[in-house]
Amino acid sequence: MNDTVMVTGGAGFLGSHLCDRLVKEQRDVLCVDNLFTGSRNNIRHLLSSEYFEFQRHDVTFPLYVEVGQIYNLACPASPVHYQHDPVQTTKTSVHGAINMLGLAKRVGARILQASTSEVYGDPAVHPQTEDYWGNVNPIGIRACYDEGKRCAETLFFDYHRQHALEIKVVRIFNTYGPRMHPNDGRVVSNFIVQALRGEDITIFGDGQQTRSFCYVDDLVEVIVRMMASDASLTGPVNIGNPGEYSMLQLAETILRMTGSKSRLIFQPLPSDDPKQRRPDISIAKTKLGWEPKVSLQDGLEPTIAYFRGVLNSQR
């Protein structure tokens, strides 16, 4: 069996950290990315490794390679990016899943889908468990991502049932860390960049809506464990940090850690923005022996340092 591991979206924030981990384990890694939201800078340090190969490719087109495992992470993951071209976002999730599943079927590879907590929409159940079907607006401005990822999950389970394909599905909750895009519109990167620039920090709504924040190293650990788990564990499995913080708490923490004098300003809540989001990670704990170890404070330190370096290089 071919032991090359393919990571689609491998030059992105999460994908590049996963590539780091796999190369460190001396796995042969094929990183595939069309560089729409990914960046060569995220993988530049890996290009000289004998275990790493980069291929520029868009997963909405078929790919003919020989691999043993596929981590399918390809898709813009922040509202700013996935709403930029919503039709292409849906294509990336749906056509991308079809193409990668077809490849996995042809070469007999095990394949993992990076799904998302967005499949739960604006949840009416809290915290969210994997058996909750969600509360999604199918025609809203976030639907290209939410419904695209839901359809991808459908395809994964149908390939599993119809073709006995070995699949793994993880639902990723908010993740942060170095290599996040400074302009991705996500709350952690937004707050840090605004604080470091001394700009007003923008809080939508009253700031009481909550999110859970998982440091990227913790997330990579559970993704790797999921891929290596028994074939009977298909998922979906929630992965993320169940610690819950309001937007106000996050903003105040970042202000304190950066020493910024930025003011907090409040703006109307965007359409279909979930009011609360927290994973129930019972399955990840019991089946994978995993729970996050990095506290918000400890994870924010290297993240703030990364953004400080990015902003300094732009001066």
**Helices marked H in the chain:** 13-24, 40-43, 79-82, 86-107, 143-163, 187-197, 216-228, 247-258, 282-288, 296-313
What is the pLDDT at residue 295?
96
- Which residues have a catalytic role annotated? 145
How much is the pLDDT for 11? 98
Give the pLDDT of residue 1: 65
HEC secondary structure over 101-149: HHHHHHHCCEEEEEEEHHHHECCCCCCECCCCCCECCCCCCCHHHHHHH
Q: Determine, yes or no, domain membership for 88.
A: yes
Per-residue buried b or exposed e for 118-142, using 16+ beta carbons within 10 Å of the residue's own CB? bbbbbbeeebbebebebebeeeeeb
| Mean residue pLDDT across the chain | 95
Determine, yes or no, domain membership for 302.
no
In a domain, 222, yes or no: yes
Give 135-141 contacts, CB < 8 A, sequence gap 24+: 137/272, 140/271, 140/272, 141/83, 141/86, 141/271, 141/272
Tell me if the bond preceding 76 is cis, omega within 30° of 0: no
71: in domain: yes
172, β-bridge pairs: 116, 239
Give me the phi and psi of 70, to 5 degrees please: -130, 120
Residue 279 maps to a domain = no
Phi then psi for residue 33, to 5 deg, are: -160, 145
Mean pLDDT, residues 71-81 taken together: 86
Q: What is the pLDDT of residue 272?
A: 61
Residue 150 corresponds to which amino acid? R
**Structural domain count, the chain:** 1
Q: How confident is the model at residue 91 (pLDDT cuts 50, 70, 90)?
A: very high
Does 297 reside within a domain?
Answer: no
Q: What percent of the chain has pLDDT over 70?
A: 98
Mean pLDDT of 44-61: 98
Report the predicted TM-score, pTM, of the whole model to 2 decimal places: 0.94
Report residue 168 as tokens.
Answer: 């793994």
Cβ atoms of residues 186 and 249 within 8 Å:
no
Note down the domain range covering 228.
Answer: 5-176+214-239
The Cα 220–Cα 117 span in angstroms is 16
Residue 63, sorted as left (phi over 0), alpha (psi -120 to 50) or beta, turns out to be: beta
276 part of a folded domain: no
- Residue 74 in any domain: the answer is yes
CA distance 199 to 315: 16
One-letter amino acid of 197: R
Q: Cβ–Cβ contacts within 10 Å for residue 23, how many?
A: 20
Q: What is the CATH number of the domain that holds 49?
A: 3.40.50.720
Cβ atoms of 21 and 10 closer than 8 Å: no
Which comes out higher in pLDDT, residue 276 or 286?
A: 286
pLDDT of the residue at 182 = 87
In this predicted structure, the answer to whether residue 138 has a pLDDT above a threshold of 80 is: yes
Both tokens assigned to 218 = 């913790």
Distance, CA of 184 to CA of 76 (rounded, Å): 10
Instruction: Report how far apart, in Å, the C-alpha atoms of 146 and of each of 16, 118, 140, 260 are.
Output: 23, 5, 10, 35
Instruction: Tell me what the mean pLDDT of segment 72-89 comes to.
Output: 86
Three-state secondary-structure class, residue 34: coil
